[in-house]
Amino acid sequence: MERMPTPFLALTRDVAPSMVDCELTHLARTPIDVARARIQHAGYERLLAALGCTVRRVDSAPSYPDSVFIEDTAVVFDEIAILTRPGAASRRGEVPAVEAALAGLRPIARISDPATLDGGDVFVVGRRVFVGRTGRTNAEGIAQLEELLAPYGYLVEGVTVTGCLHLKSAATALDEATVLCNPAWVDPAAFAPLRTIAVHPDEPMGANILRIGTGLLYDEAYPRTRSRLEDHGYAMQLVDASELAKAEGAVTCCSLILRTLA
């Protein structure tokens, strides 16, 4: 009997043994327990499956410390997958294996020199594509993304971000009408007329939530923000991602979610 396809495909990547040498921009280096990070990552993958994803691991890249953060290497739409040129030079070698994994799933395009763009700087609501202006994504990267997406009717909007690594450290979508954000790092007006919900001020890192269809996956480290979201009627699956957070990663960073197309 033929197995029913799941609504989503999640590409993930193993935690590299070299993760202790990861890039850090806004965080001080603290010891990372790689074995524990692997256990947390496996728990994350189980939740992806529970939220309707077939989880497929891209070939591991032991010598790329940040390769678990696969989100930064591509931006995937139903119509096209765009390979990025990550802002950190140390991460550019992560891209070819992701290209191989995406081949056959979507037509492929790429961001090219001198542009830089990290997938962590991009989120989509409807046909609006919000892109952070950050240390990782430059104006050329935003312009190239705009050009690549224009034929499909997407509107690319640059968003000023201060104080954190990526746009998605500061804001992510909860659904097609609402953005969770940290107003200290991004001006909520950038998303108007969408509704915004602010993180609890004690939880500045709490604006990163992973939306999969109508499901939400969130880091258990932000209980005050979680209760705000629950008060608004949101339910979420919780994961412990504390070791990944020490590498400045969060829940969206560890997967590329593709809608399964008929």
Active site residues: 166, 253
Peptide bond into 114 cis (omega under 30): yes
Does 247 sit near ligand CIR (CB under 6 A)? yes
Task: Compose the 156-175 pattern: x for residues touching ligand CIR by CB under 6 A, - for all others.
Answer: ---------xx-x-------
Is 94 a residue that touches ligand CIR (CB under 6 A)? no
* DSSP letter for each residue of 15-54: PPGGGGG---SSS------HHHHHHHHHHHHHHHHHTTEE
Q: Is 132 in the site for ligand CIR (CB under 6 A)?
A: no
| Nearest to ligand CIR of 6, 92 (CB atom) | 92
Q: Which is nearer to ligand CIR, 125 or 170 (CB)?
A: 170
The smaller minimum CB distance to ligand CIR, of residues 165 and 179, is found at 165
CA distance 232 to 213: 18
Both tokens of 92, joined, read 């550019």
Does 66 participate in binding ligand CIR (rule CB under 6 A)?
A: yes
Q: Which of 14, 72, 94, 219 binds ligand CIR (CB under 6 A)?
A: 72
State which of residues 250, 251, 257, 258 lies at the interface with ligand CIR (CB under 6 A). 250
Is residue 198 involved in binding ligand CIR (CB under 6 A)? no
By CB under 6 A, residue 219 contacts ligand CIR? no
Residue 88 found at the interface with ligand CIR (CB under 6 A): yes
Q: Does 243 bind ligand CIR (CB under 6 A)?
A: no
Binders in 25-44 for ligand CIR, by CB under 6 A: 25
Q: Which is nearer to ligand CIR, 41 or 168 (CB)?
A: 168
Does 69 bind ligand CIR (CB under 6 A)? Our answer is: yes
Q: Which residues of this protein are in contact with ligand CIR, per CB under 6 A? A: 22-23, 25, 66, 69, 71-72, 88, 91, 120, 165-166, 168, 247-250, 253
